[in-house]
Amino acid sequence: MIRAIIIEDSRLARLELRELLKSFPQINIIGEAENADTAIDIIQKENPDLLFLDIHLPGKDGFDLLQELNHVPAVIFTTAFNNYAIQSFEFNTIDYLLKPLSHERLAKAIEKAKNNISTSEKKEEKLYEDQRVFIRDGEKCWFVTIRDIRLLEGKGNYTQVHFENNKPLVLKPLQHFENILDDSIFIRANRQQIINLKYVKKGGSWFNGRMKLEMISGEEIEVSRRQTEKIKKLFSF
């Protein structure tokens, strides 16, 4: 069963999508939202597998919504506008459907979502700090001990891995590393960065209730509001 949320400001459009989804028993609609703020609250509470997301919303748009999430579920965009397709694939996008939605296109999108979610849910072996991993970027290769990785940054479907003076790009999304790294050492600071807590030099307050960390290596990391309290407790800031 795929747990999904519909995010759409038009009540009629939400009803129409719900009717279409009755043909797909594998989709369990666990919530609806007509704006980004309500959607964020539901997503953080329910941790859905899939979003049916309109781009044009009152106030914050669909992209603003996704930018505020630390972990982006699979997304099927449902919109009347075709000029956002390229931008949409900066996120965990399954498909981009133009309104009015057709049963055939929706069926194809849901099949993609099912395959994507099934693959991502496969159990991945955890990596611990004394283990070594092989990293390759083009013609360059490294054997890296996990404890030596200080920072990981999401770059679309790639992740940039920072260790010593190296920053290779690996063809795996940041979510993959969040799933396999030891969460007592590595923590998601924001939507695009995971940090090794042992490399944090100091931290301080930032604006809007967030904080900023300085790494031993000099990088400055802005921590999302959602993770700020967690990190403060870890370091007793």
pLDDT of the residue at 235:
73
Residue 71 corresponds to which tokens in the numbers above? 């972990």
Per-residue pLDDT, averaged over 136-143, amounts to: 88
> What is d(CA 54, CA 74) in angstroms, rounded to the nearest whole number?
14
Quick: pLDDT tens for 35-78: 999 999 999 889 899 999 999 999 999 999 988 886 788 999 99
Give per-residue pLDDT as tens, 211-227: 899 999 999 999 988 88
Two domains, one topology: 2-120 and 132-235: no
Rounded-to-integer distance, Cα 38 and Cα 42, Å: 6
One-letter amino acid of 163:
F
Does position 25 have pLDDT exceeding 70, yes or no? Answer: yes
* Highest CATH level, class, for 2-120: alpha beta
Q: DSSP 3-state assignment of 20?
A: helix
The better pLDDT of the pair 229, 49 is held by 49
pLDDT in tens, 80-89: 988 888 777 7
Q: Where are the domains of the chain?
A: 2-120, 132-235
pLDDT of residue 87: 78
The whole-chain average pLDDT of the chain stands at: 89
CATH of the structural domain 132-235, one choice from 1.20.210.10, 3.20.10.10, 2.40.50.1020, 2.70.98.60:
2.40.50.1020
Q: Record the tokens describing residue 1, joined without a space.
A: 């069963």
Measured CA to CA in angstroms, residue 94 lies from 37, 62, 75, 155, 166 at distances of 22, 15, 6, 17, 32
> Which of 2-11, 39-48, 123-132 is the most confident on average?
2-11
